[in-house]
Structure 1
């Protein structure tokens, strides 16, 4: 198994313990700027479409219009939320999902079950592996890509995964955090 499941879970637990002070500071920043709850929890589809509860730091307020409808994301994202998203620090609580075995360090990012169902066979194929904290589409453009482009990159990863590719993705993730997102041509 890529980056061995037991080793991944142990490493994630070790990182969680090591990062407790950072998690506390980020949690306090979220609480002050957005209120409670600090964590965003949402059911996502894991390997084999098995649902699990994804954990992230919350990056948006629940602001609504006069009809009770949520305002568009860009109007609800806070300054701390923008920072958390850009730096990928909002994903740190996802280490708990790795500890639990719901996710891996590397794999396609977990999507909503309904999104995967709408993708049909490609959605099911995408769930052949555990979702990851980072993945091939995240280091090749992520938010700059369409859903179809991301799915194509994810399926390429699933067909070509190896421990070497996983390490390449982990290194590129660090570079994306430092240098920002860029679309990489010829990513597959």
Structure 2
């Protein structure tokens, strides 16, 4: 799949991401260090949760986040559910979006962008239809159009429609609007959980491919 890039996307977006991510890491370094220390005390090691995610062109990269769950397992050695492993401290990290701050390093590396469709699990790749796969034509983002329009309160279908709409309409103006709306969304702590889960129900594919 190919698409035509505008001047902003081709020449400005990546350098701007790098400068913003570097500035964010410098300015927020005290917050990063304090949060890392609290995660170490409350949840133990590792402090950083790493997980493979598909990026631009479906290229796999390692996503960084602050750990928010314990490693508690059942008698068979299997991990307990997300709800059972989520701690009060971990929930606070998610509600304030502090758990997402290590992704600034992903942006610095070029794995991600400040604005773009959120990177999802690699196991979902075979489940996308041709339209949904277009979300991988751009770098995934720290925040995106779906995150400022309902986040985890949206259905998967609604999320993917917003993701592909972003890919089609990508512009400097849209990125600025999403960035400003993200600040308001984080302050209001909206859409952190879905109606039935502490995160989001798994994507199980489309009824009509």
TM bin, normalised by shorter chain, reads over 0.9
Distance in 2 (alpha carbons) for counterparts of 1:113 and 1:73? 18
Structure 2 CA distance for partners of 1:123 and 1:114, relative to 1, 3 Å: farther
How many residues are paired up?
Answer: 182
Distance in 2 (alpha carbons) for counterparts of 1:64 and 1:18? 38
1:64 corresponds to 2:73: yes
What is the CA-CA distance between 1:121 and the residue it aligns to? 1.5
**Structure 2 residue aligned with 1:28:** 37
Distance in 1 (alpha carbons) for counterparts of 2:20 and 2:82? 33
1:143 corresponds to 2:152: yes
TM-score calculated relative to the size of structure 1: 0.92
Alignment gaps of 5+ in structure 2: 1-7, 192-209
Matches within 5 A, 1:13-52: 13-52=22-61
Q: 2:116 aligns with which of 107, 112, 124?
A: 107
Structure 2 CA distance for partners of 1:144 and 1:48, relative to 1, 3 Å: same
* Structure with higher helix content: 1
**Structure 2 residue aligned with 1:174:** 183
TM-score calculated relative to the size of structure 2: 0.83
Q: 1:153 aligns with which of 158, 162, 178?
A: 162
What is the root-mean-square deviation in Å for CA atoms of aligned residues? 1.3
Alignment gaps of 5+ in structure 1: 183-188
Contact 2:51/2:64 (8 A) holds in 1:
yes
1:12 corresponds to 2:46: no
Contact 1:48/1:124 (8 A) holds in 2:
no
What is the CA-CA distance between 1:161 and the residue it aligns to? 1.6
The DSSP-based 3-state class of the residue aligned with 1:27 is: helix
